[in-house]
């Protein structure tokens, strides 16, 4: 009997030592066998649902390519997808569920910086690495050392558009029209103004709105009276399209300038012809002749009913590929070791450019400026603007020269996914915790 009890005790001790637990803010001791669970969260049903759909599409396409090529060290990626409805409180709730209940090894999300800021503390507390594909507010990665991004930040993006306004458009005066409740919009406005002032420009009018406002004519009337050379509108597509249309109705001809928050198919539906002559900063151009980008675009269109991949989809694809590369290099799903591997990412050949993660866990990469052409709903490449210290690009028309895209195939250098073969129509091992099936074959991006 004593021998039986001793054996039972030893077995219980071993089970306790190797159990997958998370308490007191400690990391999960994850099993290095079986499927690798990756949590994905975003807005799939709210006001920025196009962002969430594009993120889901990009992540799923990358995961399927990785799984088709053999997975990560022989293990398949399993996606657990949550809808945060575009609400910060819900983003925090679903992040908590993914970290504590589903025991994911990493989180991918969100797009809106305000939602990422709500979710990031949950990942940090659980010591689960989180990579936001496209939240550009600098505060996001400042939450803690487990939070990363693969996009440039607002201080760079805002400065890019200020430089473009002053140097390319020769603007001397500007008006600001931003979302007072958006961390993204407030940050972009701040950095645009700082850089524009440095270049000799002057902000002569400031107006604001909220994401639920149906009408912007009051603010635009004040801007019209000020008669600025350009109008900087660092908002999201749902409001920008309406703003552009109402500006034209009021006879405002100053070009509108903005950032990556404009990039969604609905922008054209809301703004139409009024968007002609507007400019935006973005992460890549689908017109880039790079074989890697053109393969990505072709594969995405084939998978998603001929829908062209916006920058949100491309960044999500890169985020999943970078995570896979880090998992392969780490050789484990252990939180601290995986965190270290992500932090060591350098010169990764992504679709949106060669990506290096710096000491602040931000991506160092250039931005492209695109001109909006309503005929054909095209974003026309205008120029590339490099981070400080990098060689400037002066190309102002045609396909990007010296653009953000790599000249080589955009598969991880460490071989996390092998080749970038076209994905199968089905999505093996992609689960969802929403009412929509994450694996809906050929499910197109929200139009």
Cα 89 versus chain centre, distance: 20
Q: Would you say 134 and 128 are in contact if contact means Cβ atoms under 8 Å apart?
A: no
Q: Write out pLDDT tens, residues 125-157.
A: 999 999 999 999 999 999 999 999 999 998 999
Range with the poorest average pLDDT among 41-55, 60-74, 345-359, 419-433? 419-433
Sheet (strand 348-350) strand order = 348-350, 353-357, 363-364
Residue ranges and CATH numbers for the domains of the chain are 36-152+288-365+406-432 (3.40.50.2300), 155-282 (3.40.50.2300)
Mean pLDDT taken over the chain? 84
Provide the pLDDT confidence category of residue 386 given band limits of 50, 70 and 90.
confident
Q: Would you say 241 and 275 are in contact if contact means Cβ atoms under 8 Å apart?
A: yes
Of residues 332, 357, 331, 352, the one with CA closest to residue 342: 357
Range with the poorest average pLDDT among 53-67, 88-102, 267-281, 283-297? 283-297
pLDDT at 391: 47
Q: Write out pLDDT tens, residues 395-435.
A: 444 444 333 333 332 333 333 333 333 333 333 333 334 33
How far apart are the C-alpha atoms of 131 and 276, rounded to whole Å?
34
Q: Would you say 345 and 322 are in contact if contact means Cβ atoms under 8 Å apart?
A: yes
Sheet (strand 367-373) strand order = 202-209, 173-179, 230-232, 256-258, 279-282, 367-373, 378-385
**pLDDT beyond 90 at 2:** no
How far apart are the C-alpha atoms of 146 and 195, rounded to whole Å?
30
**pLDDT over 90 for what percent of the chain?**
74
How far apart are the C-alpha atoms of 50 and 61, rounded to whole Å?
16
Q: Write out pLDDT tens, residues 296-334.
A: 999 999 999 999 999 999 999 999 999 999 999 999 999
Provide the pLDDT confidence category of residue 265 given band limits of 50, 70 and 90.
confident
pTM to 2 decimal places: 0.76
Mean pLDDT value of segment 256-277: 95
- Can you tell me whether residue 72 is helix, strand or coil? strand
How far apart are the C-alpha atoms of 211 and 198, rounded to whole Å?
30
Cα 337 versus chain centre, distance: 24
pLDDT at 295: 97
Q: For helices 311-330 and 49-68, give the axis angle rounded to 10 degrees.
A: 40
- Please give the residue that has the higher pLDDT: either 403 or 384: 384
Mean pLDDT value of segment 96-112: 97
* Number of residues assigned to the chain: 447
Provide the pLDDT confidence category of residue 387 given band limits of 50, 70 and 90.
confident
Q: Would you say 86 and 49 are in contact if contact means Cβ atoms under 8 Å apart?
A: yes
Mean pLDDT value of segment 181-188: 92
């Amino acid at each position: 009997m004593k021998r039986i009890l001793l054996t039972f005790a030893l077995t219980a001790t071993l089970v306790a030592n190797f159990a997958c637990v998370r308490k007191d803010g400690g990391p999960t001791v994850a099993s290095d066998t079986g499927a690798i669970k990756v949590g994905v969260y975003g807005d799939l049903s709210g006001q920025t649902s196009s962002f969430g759909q594009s993120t889901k599409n990009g992540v799923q396409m990358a995961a399927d390519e990785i799984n088709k090529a053999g997975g990560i060290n022989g293990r398949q990626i399993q996606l657990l997808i949550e809808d945060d409805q575009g609400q910060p409180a819900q983003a925090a709730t679903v992040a908590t569920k993914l970290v504590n209940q589903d025991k994911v090894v990493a989180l991918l999300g969100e797009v809106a910086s305000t939602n990422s800021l709500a979710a990031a503390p949950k990942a940090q507390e659980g010591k689960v690495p989180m990579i936001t594909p496209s939240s550009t507010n600098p505060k996001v990665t400042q939450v803690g050392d487990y939070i990363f991004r693969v996009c440039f930040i607002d201080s760079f993006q805002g400065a890019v558009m200020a430089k473009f306004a002053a140097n390319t458009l020769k603007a001397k005066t500007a008006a600001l029209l931003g979302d007072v409740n958006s961390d993204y919009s407030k940050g972009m406005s701040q950095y645009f103004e700082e850089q524009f002032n440095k270049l000799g420009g002057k902000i002569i009018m400031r107006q604001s709105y909220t994401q639920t406002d149906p009408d912007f004519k009051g603010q635009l009337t004040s801007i019209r009276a000020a008669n600025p050379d350009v109008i900087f509108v660092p908002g999201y597509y749902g409001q920008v399209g309406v703003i552009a249309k109402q500006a034209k109705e009021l006879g405002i001809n100053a070009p509108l300038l903005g950032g990556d928050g404009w990039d969604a198919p609905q922008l054209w539906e809301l703004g139409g012809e009024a968007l002609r002559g507007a400019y935006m900063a973005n992460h890549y151009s689908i017109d880039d002749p790079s074989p890697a980008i053109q393969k990505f675009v072709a594969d995405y269109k084939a998978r998603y009913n001929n829908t062209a991949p916006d920058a949100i989809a491309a960044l999500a694809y890169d985020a999943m590929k970078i995570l896979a590369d880090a998992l392969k290099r780490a050789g484990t799903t252990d939180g601290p070791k995986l965190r270290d591997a992500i932090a060591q990412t350098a010169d990764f050949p992504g679709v949106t450019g060669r990506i290096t993660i710096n000491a602040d866990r931000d991506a160092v990469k250039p931005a492209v400026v695109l001109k909006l052409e309503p005929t054909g709903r095209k974003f026309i490449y205008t120029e590339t603007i490099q981070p400080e210290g990098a060689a400037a690009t002066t190309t102002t028309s045609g396909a990007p020269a010296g653009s953000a895209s790599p000249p080589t195939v955009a598969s991880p250098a460490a071989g996390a996914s092998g080749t970038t073969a076209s994905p199968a129509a089905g999505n093996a091992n992609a689960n969802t915790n929403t009412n929509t099936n994450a694996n809906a074959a050929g499910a197109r991006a929200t139009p």
